[in-house]
């Protein structure tokens, strides 16, 4: 076909041929660019199934928009009925050709694997499994950028498999065991294949060899490959563990998600050994305890008891504990324990009930094996209210015993550590956290009242001081009080907590946030987060801090790191509205709007009234110029937050950008009225003036907000709503000062 013209594509050269098509280089005469054309082979042109699979490749790949996936431009059909796909043509070579010259440098192999994992993560999020990951299907450009090619064997989740039952699709040497057996496959098959590719990049040879296809399949199903370090001693032990986990024959023992693998590879690049920490850990979810007292006022105690047990268990390195938010998503639902376990990805579940009458407690707990639904252990405690701390210790130690977890001395001390011995202060603190977790302006005010009462009862209750610091952090971020007032309150409360307990990671985290949003001191922030992480022995606690760190990475423009960090956090807290929303924020600010909208829409399916998800969805839709979808999202935010001025400013900004000048001016008027009743930061009006194109006034208001230390200014560094100002030198200079007070 060289020399022919198909549609507006002039074919100039033949690039190669695979099982599902012939590929040519061509010139796009309409857009004056070089592209690649892939044609269905002539002898398959009458095969309806092959045509359907070819169309499936186009549809699957065209839905993916990612720098590590080959871009699909067009699909068409020749006059004689041959289908073709027009796709990007890259200068470079396949990974297969690179490996043929010998093993890759370890750092380069890791980098290639990271890029492939990035692409697969995006495909798997869209429900697409490649099913033929191999070096020949990975292009490496002249700039060392990886592009995954050929989704011709892709299987869209939920669609009919185009292959015959029991047949194999893929390339034998890279097939997973389940693929080799002709069984149904999922994302873990692609991760197995990536494991084979990574093994080959590191050693120069495949892990499973044979003189003919059946011999290779036998090796895949029955033999273990030579350890990577035997063939190449300089490969880090942590990387060998990653390869070993990727190549486990039982798919349930492999990585479940590409982004978890990605997090481990990134950790190895930075020198930390995350994979070693993940091996050999049991897993548990602590469900909210049922209130059997008949008194709704006791809900705080039931929730608090489960939350405290969760917090205690997270201090154990060898136990993976699902976060409170995901476990509490099942509160009030009568769902089979086995289904909950599968949803949360844990082996065991702790459930219980509390009956409180006067000063007497009856606490019943059961530890359940998710696989079969049988009890591993159960106990009933009939005690006085003052015994609640001892009961918590007994339950925690019983769980450790039943799950056969070996405790280090420091872990046992952490397991029974108490931040107060005063039962009244403890109950007040639980009430504070109960209202804190509802995260509205009204419930936050209730929460801080209880934290203050807890301190009156026990002035040395460090966690209650942290609660007050966190309250003022939220007021500062939302712009509900002037920044200097919020900043002083946060510093005082967090410092007091550290005076009481210098090893309290929660207090170090609050101070890190204080340095970030009030002082704009990046280096102090990073040190604070790392200090907090060092103080946490528990895996889940470290991940909770990683959530805060992920927000920091997002707002400092380190988007790839932030998205990796936040996805990794969601592995242990998949149903968290907050953490899903902040992943959506990171994707939105990274200008990955399609992915952001998908994450945020799924978050709103869990709770249609969760305003942060509406907020970031509104900004995402505005960045796509889909204003008729942005307006209702931001209008709902204003209603749900009861007219927080900052939210009115964002709505007015989007009205203005969309050309709805009268509505934007209406929002400015609303801010002026509100300023007579409450604090309104100059950032609110700045946003609207940006949208109206009133640059001088916008810059003046932004400068005023900077001088006043408005915490939300950190968002202005990355939000797409201010993209119209990014080329302005005055704006650039102003934003450079939002990094250490100038």
Report long-range pairs for 380-386 (Cβ below 8 Å, ≥24 apart). Answer: 384/359, 384/360, 385/356, 385/359, 385/360, 385/361, 385/423, 386/359, 386/423
| CA distance linking residue 212 with residue 558, whole number of Å | 47
Mean pLDDT on 707-719: 93
Q: What is the pLDDT of residues 210-239, one digit of tens each?
A: 888 899 999 999 998 998 988 988 888 889
**pLDDT value, residue 411:** 57
pLDDT tens-digit readout, 81-96: 787 888 888 889 999 9
Identify the structural domains of the chain with CATH numbers, from first to last: 5-88 (3.30.200.20), 92-278 (1.10.510.10), 282-418 (3.40.50.10610), 433-524 (1.25.40)
Tokens of 40: 């269905």
Give the residue among 167, 163, 175 at the shortest CA–CA distance from 218: 175
| Token couple for 328 | 């509490």
Q: Which long-range contacts (CB under 8 A, 24 or more apart) does 163-172 make?
A: 169/131, 169/132, 170/131, 170/132, 171/132, 171/134, 171/136, 172/213, 172/216, 172/217
Minimum mean pLDDT among 15-24, 189-198, 471-480: which range? 15-24
User: Tokens for 530?
Assistant: 């790392």
Higher-pLDDT residue of 11, 399: 11
Look-up: residue for tokens 């002249």? 142
pLDDT of res. 539: 38
Higher pLDDT, 377 or 99: 99
Assess whether pLDDT exceeds 90 at residue 108: yes
CA atoms of 414 and 315, how far apart (whole Å): 7
pLDDT-wise least confident of 67-76, 162-171, 346-355, 479-488: 162-171
pLDDT tens figures, 372-382: 777 888 888 88
Q: What is the pLDDT of residue 682?
A: 96
Q: What is the mean pLDDT of residues 116-138?
A: 87
466: which 2 tokens? 């942290």
Mind listing the pLDDT tens digit for each residue in 549-607? 888 889 989 898 888 888 877 766 778 888 899 999 999 999 999 999 999 999 999 88
DSSP strands (E only) in 541-679: none
- Return the higher-pLDDT residue of 442 and 493: 493
Tell me which of 360 and 692 has the higher pLDDT: 692
Listed range (204-218, 230-244, 298-312, 646-660) with the worst mean pLDDT: 298-312
* Mean residue pLDDT across the chain: 84
Please say if the pLDDT value at position 537 is more than 50: no
Residue 715 and residue 520 in contact, taking contact as beta carbons nearer than 8 Å: no
**Region for 628 from its dihedrals, namely left if φ exceeds 0, alpha if ψ lies in -120 to 50, beta otherwise:** alpha
Task: Give the whole-angstrom CA distance, residue 185 versus residue 251.
Answer: 10
Please determine, for residue 541, whether its predicted confidence score (pLDDT) is greater than 60.
no
Q: Is 70 exceeded by the pLDDT of residue 332?
A: yes
660 three-class SS: coil
Helices 483-500, 462-477: crossing angle, 10 deg rounding: 160
pLDDT above 50 (res 62)? yes
Mean pLDDT of 471-477: 90
Residues recognised as catalytic: 132
The number of helix segments (H) and strand segments (E) in the chain equals 33, 17
Question: Would you say residue 277 has pLDDT above 50?
Answer: no
Distance, in Å, from the CA atom of 339 to the CA atom of 684, rounded to the nearest integer, reads 46
Tens digits of per-residue pLDDT, 643-656? 999 999 999 999 99
Tokens of 289: 């305890």
Q: What is the pLDDT of residue 45?
A: 63
**pLDDT attached to residue 165:** 36
Q: Is the pLDDT of residue 386 over 70?
A: yes
Cβ atoms of 375 and 368 closer than 8 Å: yes
At residue 544 the predicted structure's pLDDT band, cuts being 50, 70 and 90, is: low
The share of the chain scoring above pLDDT 70, in percent, equals 88
Q: First and final CA of the chain: distance in angstroms?
A: 65
Out of 235-249, 295-309, 444-458, 670-684, which region has the weakest mean confidence (pLDDT)? 295-309
Q: Are 454 and 468 in contact (CB under 8 A)?
A: no
Average pLDDT over residues 387-396: 79
Residue 262 pLDDT class (50, 70, 90 cuts)? confident
| Model confidence at 65: pLDDT above 70 | yes
pLDDT of residue 63: 73
**CA max distance for the chain:** 91
Phi, psi dihedral angles at 631 (to 5 degrees): -55, -55
The residue-averaged pLDDT of 13-27 equals 80
Residue 57 has pLDDT above 60, yes or no: yes
Q: Looking at residue 405, what is its pLDDT?
A: 63
Phi (first) and psi of residue 608, to 5 degrees: -65, -10
């Amino acid at each position: 076909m060289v020399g022919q013209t198909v549609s507006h594509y002039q074919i100039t050269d033949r690039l190669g041929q695979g099982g599902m098509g012939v590929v040519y280089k061509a010139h796009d005469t309409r857009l004056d660019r070089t592209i690649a054309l892939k044609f269905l082979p002539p002898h398959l042109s009458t095969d309806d199934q092959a045509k359907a699979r070819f169309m499936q490749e186009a549809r699957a790949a065209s839905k993916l928009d990612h720098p590590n996936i080959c871009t699909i431009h067009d699909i068409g059909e020749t006059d004689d009925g041959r289908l073709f796909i027009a796709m990007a043509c890259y200068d470079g070579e396949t990974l297969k050709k690179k490996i043929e010259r010998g093993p890759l440098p370890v750092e380069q192999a890791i980098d290639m694997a990271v890029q492939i994992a990035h692409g697969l993560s995006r495909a798997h999020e869209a429900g697409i499994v490649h099913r033929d990951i191999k070096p020949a299907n990975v292009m490496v450009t002249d700039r060392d950028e990886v592009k995954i090619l050929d989704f011709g064997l892709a299987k869209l989740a939920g669609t009919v498999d185009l292959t015959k039952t029991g047949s194999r699709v893929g390339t034998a040497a890279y097939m997973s065991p389940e693929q080799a057996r002709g069984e149904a496959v999922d994302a873990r098959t692609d991760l197995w294949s990536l494991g084979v590719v990574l093994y080959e990049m590191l050693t120069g040879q495949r892990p499973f060899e044979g003189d003919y296809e059946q011999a290779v399949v036998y090796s895949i199903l029955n033999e273990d490959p030579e350890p990577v370090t035997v063939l190449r001693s300089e490969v880090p032990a942590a990387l060998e563990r990653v390869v070993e986990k990727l190549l486990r024959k039982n798919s349930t023992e492999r990585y479940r998600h590409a982004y978890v693998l990605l997090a481990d590879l990134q950790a190895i690049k930075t020198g930390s050994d995350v994979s070693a920490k993940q091996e050999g850990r049991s897993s548990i979810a602590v469900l909210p305890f049922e209130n059997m007292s008949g008194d709704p006022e006791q809900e705080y105690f039931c929730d608090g008891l489960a939350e405290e047990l969760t917090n205690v268990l997270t201090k154990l390195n060898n136990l993976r504990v699902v976060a409170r938010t995901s476990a509490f998503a099942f509160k009030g639902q009568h769902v089979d324990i086995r289904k909950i376990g599968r949803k949360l990805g844990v082996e065991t579940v702790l459930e219980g009930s509390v009956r409180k009458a006067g000063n007497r407690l009856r606490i019943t707990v059961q530890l359940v094996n998710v696989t079969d639904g049988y009890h591993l252990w159960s106990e009933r405690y009939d005690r006085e209210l003052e015994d609640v701390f001892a009961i918590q210790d007994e339950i925690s130690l019983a769980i450790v015993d039943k799950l056969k977890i070996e405790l280090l001395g420091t872990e046992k001390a952490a397991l029974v550590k108490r931040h107060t011995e005063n039962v009244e202060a403890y109950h007040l603190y639980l009430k504070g956290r109960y209202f804190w977790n509802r995260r509205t302006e009204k419930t936050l005010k209730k929460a801080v009242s209880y934290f203050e009462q807890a301190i009156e009862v026990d002035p040395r209750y460090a966690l209650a001081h942290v609660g007050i610091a966190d309250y003022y952090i939220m007021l500062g971020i939302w712009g509900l009080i002037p920044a200097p007032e919020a900043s002083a309150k946060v510093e005082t409360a967090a410092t007091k907590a550290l005076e009481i307990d210098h090893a309290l990671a929660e207090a170090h985290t609050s101070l890190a946030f204080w340095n970030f949003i009030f002082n704009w001191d990046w280096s102090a922030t990073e040190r604070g987060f790392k200090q907090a992480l060092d103080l946490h022995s528990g895996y889940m606690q470290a991940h909770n801090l990683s959530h805060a760190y992920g927000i920091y990475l997002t707002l400092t423009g380190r988007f790839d790191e932030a998205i990796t960090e936040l996805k990794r956090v969601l592995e242990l807290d998949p149903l968290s509205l907050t953490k899903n929303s902040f992943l959506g924020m990171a994707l939105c600010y990274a200008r990955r709007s399609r992915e952001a909208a998908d994450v945020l829409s799924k978050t709103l399916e869990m709770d249609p009234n969760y305003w942060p998800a509406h907020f970031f969805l509104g900004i995402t839709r505005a960045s796509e110029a889909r204003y008729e979808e942005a307006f209702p999202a931001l209008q709902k935010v204003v209603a749900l937050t009861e007219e927080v001025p900052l939210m009115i400013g964002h709505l007015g900004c989007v009205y203005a950008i969309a050309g709805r000048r009268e509505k934007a001016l209406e929002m400015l008027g609303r801010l002026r009225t509100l300023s007579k009743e409450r604090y309104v930061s100059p950032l609110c009006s700045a946003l609207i003036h940006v949208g109206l194109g009133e640059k001088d006034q916008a810059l003046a208001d932004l400068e005023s907000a900077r001088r006043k230390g408005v915490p939300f200014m950190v968002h202005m560094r990355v939000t797409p709503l201010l993209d119209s100002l990014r080329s302005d030198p005055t704006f650039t200079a102003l934003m450079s000062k939002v990094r250490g007070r100038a």
